[in-house]
Amino acid sequence: MPKQKKRYICQECGYQALKWSGQCPGCDSWNTLVEEIINPKQEKKEQQVTANVNLETIDKIETKVEDRLTSNFQELDRVLGGGIVPGSLILIGGDPGIGKSTLLLQASYNISEEYDKVMYVTGEESRRQVKLRANRLEAISSSLYILAETNLLSVINSIKELNPDLVVIDSIQTIHNPNLDSAPGSVSQVRDATNRLMKLAKKDGIPVFVVGHVTKQGSIAGPKVLEHMVDTVLYFEGDRHRDYRILRAVKNRFGSTNEVGIFEMQQSGLEEVLNPSQAFIAERPEGVSGSVIIPCLEGSRPILIELQALASSANFGTPSRMTTGIDHKRVSLILAVLEKRLGLHLQNQDVYINIVGGFQVDEPAIDLGMAIAIVSSFRDVSVSEKLAVIGEVGLSGEVRAISQIEKRVKEASKLGFSQFIIPKSNLQGLSSAYQDLTINGVANVREVLDLILGGE
């Protein structure tokens, strides 16, 4: 009898080792190497194949525009690039309880009502549990089929027999192939299940949604090859203790990765937020220092967010720096610029930065608004309620130009903002349609201080 082989595979990155160790050499994670037995019968022999007859020059390949499936969720369709492409494999990840299953069950119901059959495969819940959630979401349809199964071979056979318009796998970590000796959720099982579902989707033209668990660091659990195999990778973000949820694409072969979709969690399920700017600034306090409105750009859509800053005297020798929704290093950079270029003594101040609504912002256009919010809180002077601020701040204190200035100003003016502080080099990019607005162009942060606080 041939001897069985043992390998130790990292459950985080997929690194394979011949012996166990406490720390993975591939990703430096601790206690992630798990023993897996590989039977010789599973190792396929090398096959002799002839040249591929599909070899063809790119100019002779015929193409056609695929009709995408619409989910009746404008936010979801926007993130996917205009709808669901037939034959695509879509991976969606997010923290437990964030609403992944709720979103996909609602989308499955909408597609079953608009088109034909939809199969929802649940490996973590029973059929009755899914029915209870569907009753709450009012997502009951005679074309929505529920399959409570974890056997990969049974799932694939059921898909081939039903031939649905859409398949949802919730979740991929619970699906296992009984022909493999490794446990469900292991690297081998996840890789094999995803590979088989990908071949099925491409061959039969059936779009497949796959739910993936996330690690403590927030990335999708399993080897990185899992993200390379699928066509689209979506992340469902947000705070479980807040109502707003953000759907973001980090990979999309059929559209842009810059788009985001915004939802609000209600008792009856997820509802789209078609005007997120108004939602994020609806509860802005009046006459309070440290609050600034900044028009940010997420994909092709401008969104107004409220940035709050609080500067208070430090009780200990080392001041605290805490941020929510923005990179901590970016805040440290702006504080250093304010100290060096404006002479503000912030080294003995605790500084807290918060993006209201749980929104994550990573574009540099937020720099100038953050600087104004910090100075406003430090001097305890409030800024105008009709003011919106846009601009990137350099290390020498200069205010640099940002992209798509007219689109940002237009969105803010719709919501009643009539005063703007923008980079001076962006003034030429504005049309004459905004002459009724008070728009000040600044070249450095010193000019901003004179405008807002009267040069205090």
Binding site listing for ATP: 94-101
Q: How many Å separate Cα 253 from the centre of its chain? A: 16
Pair 421, 442: CB distance under 8 Å: yes
Query: Where is the binding site, in residues?
Result: 94-101
Q: What is the C-alpha to C-alpha distance for residues 260 and 77, in angstroms, rounded to an integer?
A: 10
State phi, psi for 234 to the nearest 5 degrees: -115, 145
Instruction: Map residue 92 onto helix, strand or coil.
Output: strand
* Both tokens assigned to 101: 């299953």
Pair 236, 213: CB distance under 8 Å: no
DSSP state of 456: -
Q: How many Å separate Cα 286 from the centre of its chain? A: 31
Q: How far is CA 68 from CA 106, 133, 300, 366, in A?
A: 18, 27, 20, 35
Pair 306, 284: CB distance under 8 Å: yes
Q: What is the C-alpha to C-alpha distance for residues 226 and 206, in angstroms, rounded to an integer?
A: 19
